[in-house]
């Protein structure tokens, strides 16, 4: 899928002066008095983990000289704060800015409160930290390894296939819940050579595929004959999140950046061994760094991997066909090459910058300039403002060719 043109953030004419958040618990916004007690709000996402939130709240009522939300038992005249943040309550978190049409709040996640962490320090007021996970955490049940090839290697088709119950004897993955797709977007998807799920929870795998395409995946509900039925929606984000690729430059829009180049673990060839149960014969498939599919992937480092000449053999992964073995070999070699250049960086708060998106990083030097795939982000609003920290791996040089 083609990425949109990179946007320098200061050319968007957005205002970054008034960071703002909104929190809803069980569908209702927090009362104004409770909002004033919020010290910080943090949202974390990753391509290989379920999203999470952390909210720190003042837990001291100075007028009553007692704890406010946790550590006090409800009694006559209690305003109900003691049960407001009970574990299991559903929470919606929005982050963004006030004061500009383009800067509306973005829905970061819908999840459940899973952890309460009160703090009773010696020399300051008590605080309460809430932690929670995306609602889709409840679909993490069993990890699978599977591969799709040819016309089946389309994300929307895979999403529909994962609706089924998992086939445990064969090991075919499934979620056991209906997955609805966008038919128009599905028709525009081009099949890939292969798509490989390597020992992952199907829901985490599906979230990763969604993020790669700028799609959203969320739980929906519908009522029929008095009963409520849940389903997953997989498709383009129409309401809250923009499909945008940012251009970030050190000295301008990058607050800080720490790139790392590592060649120690680079390999030039992977061979996967398995056993074909139908023919009762050994499987042996290899992929090298000269595979045409690596032509644009970190091209300035392929020569380094070739010079190192290290080879890897895999004998402990469950593969039962030659295509599965080739897909696994390619997947291992591709991930290793992608990990050669990584970065940890920070910029002004950008609610549309999420794991799975692409950023163009500039002014970092010839070895580190280029297009990066964002692997995780952390969005935080506190008394210091709104800041987005992220980690990413470089997948292409800025020109798409070798670094000069």
Q: pLDDT tens for residues 89-103?
A: 999 999 998 865 555
pLDDT of residue 77: 42
- What mean pLDDT comes out for the span 207-221? 79
Percent of the chain with pLDDT strictly greater than 70: 84
Q: Compare 287 and 377 and report the one with higher pLDDT.
A: 377
Q: Dihedral sign, CA of 99, 101, 105, 108?
A: negative
Within 8 A by CB and 6+ apart from 25, the residues are 84, 85, 89, 90, 91
Tell me the DSSP string of 97-142: ESS-GGG--EEEEEEEEEEEEEE--SSS--EEEEEEEEGGGGG---
Tell me the DSSP string of 269-314: EEEEEEEETTTTEEEEEEEETT-GGGTTSSHHHHHHHHHH--EEEE
Are 182 and 327 contacting, i.e. CB atoms less than 8 angstroms apart? no
**Domain 6-135 of CATH type 2.40.10.10:** yes
Global pTM?
0.78
Reduced to 3 states, what is the DSSP secondary structure of residue 94? strand
Q: pLDDT tens for residues 225-261?
A: 777 788 888 887 654 556 678 999 999 999 999 999 8
Are 300 and 394 contacting, i.e. CB atoms less than 8 angstroms apart? no
pLDDT at 293 over 60: yes
Phi, psi of 256 (to 5 degrees): -155, 160
Q: Dihedral sign, CA of 52, 50, 256, 371?
A: negative
Q: pLDDT tens for residues 2-49?
A: 455 676 665 554 556 689 999 999 989 999 989 999 999 999 998 878
* Spans of all domains in the chain: 6-135, 139-236, 269-338
CA dihedral 114, 376, 262, 268 (to 10 degrees): 100
Q: Compare 189 and 296 and report the one with higher pLDDT.
A: 189
Tell me the DSSP string of 371-403: EEEEEEEEEEEETTEEEEEEEEEEEE-TTSS--
Q: pLDDT tens for residues 260-271?
A: 988 777 788 889
Q: pLDDT tens for residues 47-70?
A: 878 899 999 999 998 888 888 887
Q: What does pLDDT average to over the chain?
A: 83
Are 208 and 236 contacting, i.e. CB atoms less than 8 angstroms apart? no
Distance (Å, whole) CA 241 – CA 100: 16
Distance (Å, whole) CA 82 – CA 320: 56
Distance (Å, whole) CA 320 – CA 322: 7
Phi, psi of 220 (to 5 degrees): -115, 165
Q: Compare 288 and 81 and report the one with higher pLDDT.
A: 288
Q: What is the DSSP letter of 250?
A: B
Phi, psi of 129 (to 5 degrees): -110, 125
pLDDT of residue 15: 58
Q: 203 has which bridge partners? A: none
Reference 392, options 327, 346, 325; nearest CA is 346
């Amino acid at each position: 899928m083609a990425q949109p043109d990179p946007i320098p953030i200061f050319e968007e004419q957005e205002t970054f002066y008034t960071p703002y958040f909104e929190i809803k618990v069980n569908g209702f916004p927090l009362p104004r008095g409770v909002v004033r007690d919020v010290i910080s709000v943090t949202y974390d996402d990753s391509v290989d983990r379920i999203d999470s939130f952390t909210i720190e709240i003042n837990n001291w009522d100075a007028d009553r000289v007692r704890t406010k939300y946790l550590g006090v038992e409800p009694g006559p005249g209690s305003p109900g704060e003691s049960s407001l943040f009970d574990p299991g309550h559903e929470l919606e978190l929005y982050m963004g800015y006030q004061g500009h049409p383009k800067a509306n709040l973005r829905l970061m996640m819908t999840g459940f409160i899973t952890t309460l962490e009160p703090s009773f320090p010696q020399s300051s007021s008590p605080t309460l930290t809430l932690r929670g996970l995306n609602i889709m955490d409840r679909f993490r049940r069993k990890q699978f390894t599977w591969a799709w090839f040819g016309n089946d290697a389309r994300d929307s088709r895979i999403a529909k296939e994962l609706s089924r119950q998992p086939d445990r004897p064969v090991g075919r993955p499934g979620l056991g819940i209906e997955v609805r797709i966008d038919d128009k977007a599905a028709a525009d998807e081009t099949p890939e050579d292969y798509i490989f799920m390597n020992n992952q929870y199907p829901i985490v795998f599906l979230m990763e595929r969604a993020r790669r395409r700028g799609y959203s995946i969320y739980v929906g509900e519908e009522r029929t004959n008095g009963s409520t039925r849940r389903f997953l929606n997989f498709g383009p984000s129409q309401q809250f999140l923009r499909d945008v690729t940012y251009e970030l430059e050190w000295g301008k829009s990058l607050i800080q950046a720490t790139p790392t180049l590592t060649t120690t673990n680079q390999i030039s060839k992977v061979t996967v061994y398995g056993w074909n149960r139908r023919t009762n014969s050994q499987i042996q498939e290899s992929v090298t760094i000269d595979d045409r599919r690596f032509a644009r992937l970190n091209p300035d480092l392929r020569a380094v991997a070739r010079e190192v000449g290290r080879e890897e053999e895999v004998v402990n992964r469950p593969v039962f066909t030659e295509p599965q073995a080739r897909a696994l070999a390619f997947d291992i070699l591709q991930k290793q090459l992608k990990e050669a250049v990584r970065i940890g960086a920070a910029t002004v708060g950008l609610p549309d910058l999420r794991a799975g998106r692409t950023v163009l990083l500039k002014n970092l030097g010839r070895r580190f300039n280029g297009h990066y795939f964002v692997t995780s982000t952390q969005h935080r609003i506190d008394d210091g403002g709104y800041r987005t920290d992220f980690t990413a791996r470089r997948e292409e040089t800025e020109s798409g060719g070798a670094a000069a």
